[in-house]
Amino acid sequence: MEKVVEILSSLKSGVDFNTAESIVTDKVIDSIDIASLISMIEEEFDVEIGMEYMENENFDSAAAIWEMIQELKEE
């Protein structure tokens, strides 16, 4: 999960992504950030994030993103 936090921090500094929740819901990151985030995750973790994962809840915290990555790696 540390790498997820690093990626998020590279998009938006000054946020403690280790504890932050509702980062999409509270508009900490926007749609442009999410597009970059998806690209970075796919490259870093060698996964493909399909449309079925494009829900705020999958991107609302570093923990949720990490959980999604783990699920994708199991497929």
Q: What tokens does 65 get? A: 């993103």
CATH of the domain at 47: 1.10.1200.10
Task: Give how many domains the chain has, as a whole number.
Answer: 1
Mind listing the pLDDT tens digit for each residue in 14-54?
999 999 999 999 999 999 999 999 999 999 999 999 999 99
Alpha helices in the chain (DSSP H): 2-11, 31-45, 56-59, 62-74
pLDDT value at 3 more than 90: yes
Q: Tokens 């490259």 appear where?
A: 43
Q: Tokens 């985030």 appear where?
A: 37
Query: Do the Cβ atoms of 23 and 59 come closer than 8 Å?
Result: yes
For residue 33, give its domain range: 2-74
Query: Do the Cβ atoms of 24 and 37 come closer than 8 Å?
Result: no
